[in-house]
Structure 1
Amino acid sequence: MKRRHILQAAPALWLAGLPAARAQGYPDKPIKYIVPVAAGGGSDLVGRTVTDRWGRALGQSFVVENQGGGGGVIASQLAARAAPDGYTLMQGYVATHGTSPATRKLPYDPVKDFTPIGMIGATPNVLVVDANLPIKDFKEFVAWLGANKGKASYGSAGAGSLTHLTMELLKLQLKMPMVHIPYRGIAPAITDVIGGQTQAMFPGLAAALQHIRSNRLRPIAVTGRQRAPQIKDVPTLEELGLKNFDAMQWYGVVGPAGMPADIVGKLNTTLNQTLAAPDMREKLSAEAVEPQPMTPAAFGQYLQQDIQRWTQLVKAQNLKID
């Protein structure tokens, strides 16, 4: 009888020890890391900087695969369809898991089709104006808008982009009209603010910083809960009394839905250790990104809240995104 009981219990004991053994042996081969933009941009730099150090913490290398196109749709579909074994991860960001789900019908579900691993970090958007305008601060900006109703315009990196939606959020709260001029990318939009064709915009801090330092753009306010260390004298919109402006250009890591909890835990722990390295903040500062380590659960909640934020705005402003 005892022998029979032991034999019956053996499979259960083996299965109970499986997760620990699996996590201990993981990873035993390189991990594919999909970055949903072309090589060479800011998001690509963030991904390569983090995975280089993260791979050392895991004892295995990452193979970065750039999959641009479709605003991250192609990359997201590839990641969502991959085996949930921890060997295919993706750098989700505010477009793939924030603004695009709020503005477009996508061939993937940003929540149900993915496993949240952890946040990498975020950079604020900065409200800037043409430096030649008689605007020195936010109060003067609001007064100028009031005096130029129907005449003021703002540029964005494209319809439905974070630069577009952030300004629409500002318009909603200020109840001030501004004409939206969408561009194909952030660079031409900034060029036209500097040239006076448009008067304001909300670029990411990394894209705007060189123009702020050369006094060609004047910073008025930043998004986020804290002032940006690169422009410490510029207040946050929250400080100025506007709510829901903690929105940021964020980067995080997701995998396919259904990943084992033990592997997710190991990835999250080593990612957070990587972000805590003393020199990592300095490395990410090239893109004005501040590390923001989170648990998988906290990151998953963050994703859902970001999608909800922009979905509500699109409905409130009745935005039509082609």
Structure 2
Amino acid sequence: MTHRLNHRAGRSGPPRLGRRLALGLAGAALAAPALRAQSAAIRIIVPFAPGGSTDAVARLAAPGLTQRLGHPVIVENRSGAAGAIGTEAVVKAAPDGQTWLLTFDSHAVLPALLPNLAFNITRDLDPVMLIGGAPYVLATRPDRPFRSLSEFVAAAKAQPDAISYGSTGNGTIGHLTMVLLQSRTGTRMAHLPYRGGGLAVNDTVAGHVDAMIGSAALVAPHIAGGTLRALAQFGPTRLPALAPVETAEEAGFPGLQAEAWWGVFAPSGTPTSGIDRMNAALRESLTEERVRRQMEETQQARLVLSDPAGLRTFLDRQIEVWGGVVRSNAIRAD
């Protein structure tokens, strides 16, 4: 009898324990990827160095996105090649909603400026949102003789190649705006490309260059402080912070618009549901009162917060306009 009881225990006790252990291990193995997915950080790649407006916009949005998406959101700077290095990292990332690109207006110029790109910006990236824009502004020292865009152009006509202007780099939208202005007015100006907006501002304030073109976020504090005077803003309407400054169109240059802008993209093939979720989270995060105020005051931004289709249409137009300026003037990156 004892033998039979022990025999039954030997057959039935340990196998049940083994099955439970095996099932538990299998469940843990299946749960591990899910747990990792829940805790995995979402990356927003900014293809420029820290400190610029694109980096600032990403970091303003990140806390709200963390809250709404339920994952930590990390801003990762990958600068170089006019934004191409960071953009390529996103193109090569898995389309799983873990990696996003937040980039700047120069994105639209990449195909024309760098014809040997290893990716196609319209085929290899899916649009998510046009966040908004801020006009480019032409500014000079207050003691310079020109007080408007018309007077600046007149001085350039009178002295070909003598009037100089700085920009934040060769092939940037600011530079291309001035190239377009010269082609429309038959003027020639000396271009000084800088490696950053701060350097261009410093040399303009110091009088080493006659004028500079930069985003409103870059020059507005210096205009308010009296170290620079705005000659024109290139947005569709006047900014509240620069209400006395006429737009280029008001100055007699129809269609001459140039805005810094920020857009969000995903690797091609990212599920529509994921794109829509990110779009909604961005919209809610950027319309928080504190964030919206900082965007409008610090970045001088006109918020758009478009749907994906709106960004696609906008980007196509930007590529057409600025790519044409690059190609017709044989402009190359520094």
Which residue, out of 89, 108, 123, partners 1:98? 108
SS at the partner of 2:54? helix
Q: Return the offset for 1:245.
A: 3.0
Match of 1:290 in 2: 302
1:196-275 equivalent positions in 2, closer than 5 A: 196-275=207-286
Superposed CA deviations along residues 209-249 of structure 1, whole A, max 9, x for unmatched, are 22212322210111111211211111111222323333211
Superposed CA deviations along residues 252-294 of structure 1, whole A, max 9, x for unmatched, are 1111011111211222122222233333321213222232110
Q: Return the offset for 1:321.
A: 4.2
SS at the partner of 2:102? strand
Is the radius of gyration larger for structure 1 or structure 2? 2
The answer to whether the Cα contact below 8 Å between 2:141 and 2:205 also exists between their aligned partners in 1 is yes
Q: Does 1:137 align with 2:143?
A: no
**TM-score, normalized by length of structure 2?**
0.82
The answer to whether the Cα contact below 8 Å between 1:125 and 1:248 also exists between their aligned partners in 2 is yes
Unaligned runs of 5+ in 2: 1-36
Which residue, out of 75, 80, 90, partners 2:86? 75
- Cα distance in structure 2, aligned partners of 1:242 and 1:126: 14
The answer to whether the Cα contact below 8 Å between 1:128 and 1:221 also exists between their aligned partners in 2 is yes
Match of 2:33 in 1: none
Q: Does 1:313 align with 2:325?
A: yes
Which residue, out of 123, 126, 146, partners 2:134? 123
Which residue, out of 314, 320, 326, partners 1:302? 314
Q: Return the offset for 1:320.
A: 4.4
**TM-score, normalized by length of structure 1?**
0.85
Count of paired positions: 295
The answer to whether the Cα contact below 8 Å between 1:172 and 1:317 also exists between their aligned partners in 2 is no
Q: Does 1:182 align with 2:193?
A: yes
AA at the equivalent of 1:311: G
Which residue, out of 151, 154, 179, partners 2:162? 151
Which residue, out of 25, 48, 58, partners 1:47? 58
- Cα distance in structure 2, aligned partners of 1:55 and 1:108: 29
- Cα distance in structure 1, aligned partners of 2:325 and 2:278: 34
Identity rate, percent: 33
- Cα distance in structure 2, aligned partners of 1:216 and 1:54: 37
- Between stretches 215-224 and 244-253, larger displacement belongs to 244-253
AA at the equivalent of 1:240: A
Unaligned runs of 5+ in 1: 1-26
The answer to whether the Cα contact below 8 Å between 1:155 and 1:181 also exists between their aligned partners in 2 is yes
Superposed CA deviations along residues 76-95 of structure 1, whole A, max 9, x for unmatched, are 11100111111111112212
- Cα distance in structure 1, aligned partners of 2:140 and 2:50: 30
AA at the equivalent of 1:217: L
Q: Return the offset for 1:71.
A: 2.2
- Cα distance in structure 2, aligned partners of 1:143 and 1:71: 33
Instruction: Give RMSD over aligned pairs.
Output: 1.9
SS at the partner of 2:71? coil
